[in-house]
Structure 1
Amino acid sequence: MQYVLTLPDGARETIDLLLDGHLEVLHQNTAPDALPSWTALAYHQCPNCPLSVLTHPRCALAVNLVDVMRFSNKLISHDEVLMEVITQERRIAQRTTAQRAISSLMGLIVATSGCPHSTFLRPMARFHLPLASEEETIYRATSMYLLAQYFLKNEERAVDFSLEGLVERYKILQKVNLAIADRLRAASETDASINAVVLLDIYAKTMPYAIKDSLEDIRYLFSSYF
């Protein structure tokens, strides 16, 4: 999958996300000496991180944001960019703000980085929808979670059709977003990347409430099932 951003000065920035068979991004920045200090796991480590610095000296999510930070420091949040997302199936192009484009890219990286708290998002990464609206995100996230329950049921394992498990996962993700924002402040020269994380965190904060309250807003779409 490829993200191409055309910046206000006409320069083009390309991020290639190479995913393995488990939908985890293949690290392209693996030389420790070449990595900035803010990628160290101990640097603003998430309070709920289950990893040890002894076995994981670097935060995989931070490592995969190094290239994003390189070009986001050239941008202000509300700069207009042309965002192109290219997959095997299609090419999507849209003009948007720098913060929304970077947030869309970061969301994909968060899901595929190897962070233990975001692996549940990998099915959504496989069917990535750039610049998804809140309603689209609610639909995709709940559909993904309920399909996971279907597969669990087929294996005679415990299932959760109440969506409480999904709510809890998003609450955990909020802590990850806060810690990542702290990391990026050390690397940021402009506000674009920080505000991109803020946009992601807005979704993470609203999802627990939206899952419970907003699903009724799209119930009418399923009237043919009743």
Structure 2
Amino acid sequence: MDVEVIKTYLPLYNEALLLTVKIGWLGILAAFAIGLLGAAIQYFRIPVLKKVIAVYIEVFRNTPLLVQLFFIYFALPKIGIRITAENCGILGLGLIGGAYMIETLRSGLESVPSIQSESALSLGMTRIQVFFHVILPQAFSVSVPGIIANVIFLLKETSVFSTISLMDLMFTAKDLIGMYAKTIECLFLLVVYYLFMLIPVSVLGSLIERRIRYAEFGD
């Protein structure tokens, strides 16, 4: 392994990391927003929209992100809808992540005993107030492990962005290998940078889970 080659490539990987993190977290925020909206629709059993959400979940959970990105980036322009590669990555990650987040948050919402909402309603709170101030906080604490798992999954899924010519970590590694054939050095840096991106999320998630568990059970 050539250390000098690694030093030379570091600035390129730094730029790729920034782009990957930017698109990844914007996609995750979009996924969480979609997940919260979809879970709320299912929780309140809103007619028609509940069925739309169910179809959305089945479609996006059962098709690979790569296929979804290809459809957004290559198929939509055929009907006049053009999206930049960066926005395509954010949208694709948000849509597939939203499908998983809906299920995670829905299970959390359903875990809250109905007596909680009934008691809050009897005190004069509206259903919206009950949802945001009583049900959602409890559901969120239950859903934290699933949310963290989804976040890690989505950050790892950013590795397919290279297929739509985004200069992410994977694209940078493949490009450098193709030009200079420094396979070991490029793949070593790829692994290191993905670990650098994912390990803090995993550690933070474990700390949050432990804190919530301690708050609930005191152990």
Per the normalisation by structure 2, the TM-score is 0.28
- Larger relative contact order (Cα-Cα within 8 Å, sequence gap ≥ 6): 2
The structure carrying a bigger helix percent of its residues is 2
Higher strand share: 1
TM-score, length-scaled by structure 1:
0.27
